[in-house]
């Protein structure tokens, strides 16, 4: 059984040994998963859209290299990514040491760590579609807005973003779905602590390992329904308008 991290009280709590009804056992990881995936998506959306806009609109040295680095999480094994994150934000990591000493924050084995892992894994999905969407916006429309007196933020929020929105939104939905299913990097960074960092996909793994097929079935059903609902919902919103 995969176990990283300990419950704060020291004892290992294995979900399948509890006598709770199945719904309760599914609800905790489901809510945690939605929280983690939601926050991770928000984070990737803001950063991904900003970076994609920069790369789509400004030519600078090393632009395509930066693009490649940002796309890397799409092709790298999640465990490798998780390892990189531990190296970076672990207590003795480059950023992690500073965070811990200055602010007393440690991301390892926390749900915030899971958000970070999901965000990194899902980032290329938002970034790539946002860049393509921005590059698809006719520059002449931005020029037209400028000659009509719109300020630079006005051009972005009234012309560029609304026209690129469909592509960005599609990427964001994929990122959310990817975040929901995140397993490898989350396990490395946040561990698999029931009730604290055990997301749906980790709970499914545990249930199968423990031979609890009924719980596994139920969890799988919940995860699948949520994903189908997201895709259907985004499909409705993405219907072409112009």
Partner 1 sequence: MRGNPIGIRQAAAAAVLSVKIRVDICKRLASEGREFHLQAEFRAENERVVVFGPSGSGKSVTLQCIAGLLRPDAGRIEIGERVLFDSEAGINLSPQARNVGFVFQEYALFPHLSVERNIGFALQHAFHGRLDALARERVSAFLAAFELEGLARNLPRELSGGQRQRVALARALIRRPDLLLLDEPLAALDPMLREHVRRELLDVQSRFQVPMIIITHDPADAEALAENLVVFDRGRVTQILDLKDDAALLSGISQRERVGRALAELFPAA
Question: For residue 173, what are the contacts with CB-CB under 8 A and spacing of at least 6?
Answer: 230, 231, 234
The yes or no reply on residue 58 touching partner 1 (CB under 8 A) is no
Shortest separation between residue 171's beta carbon and partner 1, angstroms:
19
Q: Single out the segment in contact with partner 1 by CB under 8 A; choices: 3-11, 100-108, 155-163, 197-205.
A: 155-163
The yes or no reply on residue 149 touching partner 1 (CB under 8 A) is yes
Question: CB burial class (10 A; 0-12, 13-18, 19+) of residue 28?
Answer: middle
Question: CB burial class (10 A; 0-12, 13-18, 19+) of residue 94?
Answer: exposed
Would you say 16 and 207 are in contact if contact means Cβ atoms under 8 Å apart?
Answer: yes
The yes or no reply on residue 150 touching partner 1 (CB under 8 A) is yes
Shortest separation between residue 62's beta carbon and partner 1, angstroms:
21
Would you say 220 and 138 are in contact if contact means Cβ atoms under 8 Å apart?
Answer: no
Shortest separation between residue 143's beta carbon and partner 1, angstroms:
5
Task: Report the C-alpha gap between 33 and 37 in whole angstroms.
Answer: 6
Given 77, 162, 195, 235, the residue binding partner 1 (CB under 8 A): 162
Q: Single out the segment in contact with partner 1 by CB under 8 A; choices: 94-102, 135-143, 210-218, 220-228.
A: 135-143
Q: Measured from the CB atom, is 160 or 197 closer to partner 1?
A: 160
The yes or no reply on residue 24 touching partner 1 (CB under 8 A) is no
The yes or no reply on residue 157 touching partner 1 (CB under 8 A) is yes
Given 145, 168, 173, 200, the residue binding partner 1 (CB under 8 A): 145
Would you say 222 and 203 are in contact if contact means Cβ atoms under 8 Å apart?
Answer: no
Would you say 107 and 87 are in contact if contact means Cβ atoms under 8 Å apart?
Answer: no
DSSP state of 102: I
Task: Report the C-alpha gap between 178 and 126 in whole angstroms.
Answer: 11
The yes or no reply on residue 242 touching partner 1 (CB under 8 A) is yes
Shortest separation between residue 138's beta carbon and partner 1, angstroms:
7
Shortest separation between residue 167's beta carbon and partner 1, angstroms:
13
Would you say 126 and 113 are in contact if contact means Cβ atoms under 8 Å apart?
Answer: no
Given 146, 184, 234, 238, the residue binding partner 1 (CB under 8 A): 146
Which residues here bind partner 1, judged by CB under 8 A? 138, 140-141, 143-151, 153-154, 157-159, 162-163, 241-242
């Amino acid at each position: 059984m995969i176990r990283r991290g300990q419950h704060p009280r020291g004892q290992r709590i294995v979900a399948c040994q509890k006598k709770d009804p199945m719904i309760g056992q599914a609800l905790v990881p489901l809510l945690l998963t939605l929280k983690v995936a939601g926050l991770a998506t928000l984070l990737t959306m803001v950063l991904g859209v900003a970076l994609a806009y920069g790369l789509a609109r400004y030519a600078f040295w090393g632009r395509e290299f930066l693009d490649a680095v940002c796309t890397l999480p799409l092709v790298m094994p999640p465990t490798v990514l998780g390892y990189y994150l531990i190296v970076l934000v672990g207590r003795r990591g480059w950023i992690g040491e500073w965070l811990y000493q200055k602010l007393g924050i440690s991301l390892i084995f926390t749900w915030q760590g899971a958000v970070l892992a999901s965000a990194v894994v899902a980032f290329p999905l938002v970034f790539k579609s946002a860049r393509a969407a921005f590059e698809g916006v006719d520059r002449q429309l931005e020029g037209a807005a400028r000659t009509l007196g719109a300020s630079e933020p006005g051009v972005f929020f009234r012309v560029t973003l609304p026209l690129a929105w469909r592509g960005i939104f599609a990427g964001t939905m994929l990122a959310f779905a990817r975040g929901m299913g995140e397993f490898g990097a989350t396990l490395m960074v946040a561990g698999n602590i029931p009730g604290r960092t055990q997301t749906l996909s980790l709970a499914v793994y545990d249930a199968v390992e423990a031979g609890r097929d009924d719980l596994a079935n139920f969890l799988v059903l919940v995860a699948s329904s949520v994903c189908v609902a997201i895709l259907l919902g985004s499909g409705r919103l993405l219907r072409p308008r112009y």
